[in-house]
Structure 1
Amino acid sequence: MSNPEASPASPAPDEKRQPRQSRLVKAALACQRLGRFDVTLRNVSLTGVGGQGPHILQIGERMTLFLPGHEPMLGTVRWVAGTRFGLQTDREIQTMRLRAAHNDTIIAADSMADFQIVPPPRVDTWRPGLTRATALPGQFGRKR
């Protein structure tokens, strides 16, 4: 018996989702309805992306995905929540090519241990119109 509340875009129970990699990637989507527009991707897997854009997409809509380091590829919108979306691509995404296209190199934190103590800059606080003489106790402001 089918569940009427189940989303038609949800994967079947035996269908396993690909592991996601959290990424912040600028990409572009294009379709006949909206044209081409920029999006920000936050999750990337071998078979899809999750991100946010300026438009509300429609589930089942066919889109062209323009990823850095990849040829344009077709995909299908699988879920939508406001301007956030999930897109399943027709081809696999090469995550290493995506990293190379952004010149993203992983540097160990301990390799950046060259710290220097820099003294604060010396700033002259003199302002025109004020004298540098010290006021005597009980005298504040200008002389009369």
Structure 2
Amino acid sequence: MFKSVLRLATGTVLLSAALCASAEAATYRDFKVSGVLQEIPGPSSRCASNYGGTILGYGTSSVGKVTFIATDCITPNGATYTFSDGKFMITTMSGELIFANYSGQFVPTGDGAKYVFSNATFQITGGTGRYAKASGGGDLAGTEDLVTGQGTIQLTGSILSK
């Protein structure tokens, strides 16, 4: 009887150790993207304002070189613009995707049609591959010339993934 209990206890300990060793630890890591963008604004039926933007860009990040595409809704608010309901898709060099939502404001700099992002944030909602169950988020900064649509973007925060 004692040998059976000992075998069961030993088996349980070994099984526990094997399961713990095989599980990949998910930890928050710094997540940064820095790049250039081109926004194409126009009518958007999905937006309450009926106006939105499509953003294309590329850059470098804490996960390597990336490209990205995004869409958002734009609402004028005096001299500022609010961007909301933003959907961001980042593609890594290995072809994996990172999805994020974002929102914030464009605030004029006083230099022609140049604006800066203000009170802008992003939230990671998932992806593909090792980012399938990713989460996290942080601050979104950047600039944009509203006449040309050209600008810069920086995402700074953290990501939780496998």
TM-score range, shorter chain: under 0.3
**Quick one: higher RCO (CA 8 Å, sep 6+), 1 or 2?**
2
Look at both structures and tell me which one has the larger radius of gyration over its CA atoms.
Answer: 1
Q: Return the TM-score normalized by structure 2.
A: 0.25
Q: Which has the higher helix share?
A: 2
